[in-house]
Structure 1
């Protein structure tokens, strides 16, 4: 017979050991549940969106795959032909399609963001100019000075 590593000599020692094993079991269960929750949160759509669709990760992906220029080279001719050159003939639409596809290939994510920011600045600058003209002009003279 082999001896066990537990020092159980009577019924009280056995009950104490059983309670300690149950406590260990419950603690491990709680820890395992918390780990499962943390692991499952890694694969929620919100977490995946935050992880992979940040501006820096999109710019890195675009630098590697050049997705923006590919999309723009296909979307820009369709957009131009369906809006501005709607009533034009076949030859005009073909020339516009070739020209805009070449322009679309030269566009990347950084140029698109700079174009967007410049257009946004054109529309947002009017409010700032109105606020700047109504502001108090400080000439550097303190208001409690004798020069007033």
Structure 2
């Protein structure tokens, strides 16, 4: 580390005290800035920071375009899921055919298809959250306008 030699033009004691105060303030400011930068640097490597950075749908789609993770995963999970739930009591031949078919279907599914399927299923169960507010309409109570109670 290179040592910096600073030259100051100090003529009296008051200028010396002012320079000492200035240097202490500069030292404190640089220390605070260094601490802030260090916290920001370490914050990006925490579990929450990594999840925010890499677990977004756009980042997953970018990774999936290169590696095709979702189709590989679905080609392994879908046959197991189908045979253990829907075709639980069926025979060996049926389970084999279902496994082969669902393996082929699983390879064609990628992250975009899975997210579209998830959104459509979610819309079936979620219903419409946007409710239109009805404008208050005039209610006629049957009292004529020229009566004494009006």
Instruction: Note whether the superposition's TM-score is higher than 0.5.
Output: yes
1:117 matched to which residue of 2?
Answer: 119
Q: Distance in 2 between matches of 1:19 and 1:124?
A: 63
1:64 is displaced (CA, Å) by 1.5
Which segments of 5 or more consecutive residues in structure 2 lack a partner in the other structure?
1-5, 136-150
The equivalences for 1:1-148 within 5 A come to: 5-9=7-11, 11-125=13-127
CA pair 116-8 structure 1, distance change in 2 beyond 3 A: closer
CA pair 9-70 structure 1, distance change in 2 beyond 3 A: same
More helix by share: 1
CA pair 118-12 structure 1, distance change in 2 beyond 3 A: closer
Which segments of 5 or more consecutive residues in structure 1 lack a partner in the other structure?
137-148
SS of equivalent to 1:79 = helix
Runs (4 or more) in structure 1 with deviation over 6 Å come to none
SS of equivalent to 1:48 = helix
1:12 is displaced (CA, Å) by 4.7
Task: Give the TM-score normalised by the residue count of structure 2.
Answer: 0.70
Root mean square deviation of aligned Cα: 2.7
CA pair 11-55 structure 1, distance change in 2 beyond 3 A: same
